[in-house]
Structure 1
């Protein structure tokens, strides 16, 4: 792993754990075991480091979701695969993933952070869900629904489950599996079922 990658991982942990305001560049440098100057050299400002850390995690997740949903799947299968891949990624990167909970338009975007850049990055997540839902409506596996609203509702379910799993004291061992079942059941087209 390069020094730059080590710094990004340390930043993901620091910002994910402490948030933008409380985490410092000095803390990131300490976690990465590099000099403060090296962090500044690679990333400039604290805001740029924060966005780079969040976007790096987002890009990794986007690659994972794209791989999971590309193939000869029905739209409903693709939605289920998207959710499963998302939740698996969350668990795999449990210590660093909270950066995406903080650096997200589905959370309070921290003061001093460019909210427009964050929102633009997250449209990729919604666009992939819209593609899956649209394909499902077209192939008949998903009942006729508003594609945009349905994608946002699915993503809201994902984010809510992840936040509950990572940030609350509640027992959540089955929440991901149940969230997937709930969404699939809600979307599934049944013979004779009327859409919206």
Structure 2
């Protein structure tokens, strides 16, 4: 994709989605038949009309007012961009794409997220968006983490601060290897 600034295009696309909340401007950054798939919930759309409907009624403008992204890392190749970021919000509105059918709980959520974006001829072709749905459900009080290997908001904190402890879910197991040769 020589001659195309993928990073600027992606940043404009995200600005239209989350800041100006402009559906038409968002769609203008994409090819004629794009697709988006939020992997944990399989929400998004395939093709212009389905994706525009999704953006208009279930995504852009439907996020809580305090919804924000904190960048962590970005990798860019000739036709792909991989963005790692933390999504933060207070669950004050229905969030169809992430929590379909779940009424607002008023709880704060922070979740590490990865976007894999493909481009063609200076436009977005598709987005695959990944996050840990179990950690989101724990944070809004819909899943009890007791006895499960789920860390909730600690995952986002660890992504942002590498000095936080590792292996907290495997304390006893971790101790079994203490003092063994490495």
Same fold (TM over 0.5): no
Q: TM-score, normalised by structure 1?
A: 0.33
Q: TM-score, normalised by structure 2?
A: 0.34
| Greater fraction of residues in strand | 2
Structure with more relative contact order (C-alpha pairs < 8 Å, separation 6 or more): 1
| Greater fraction of residues in helix | 1
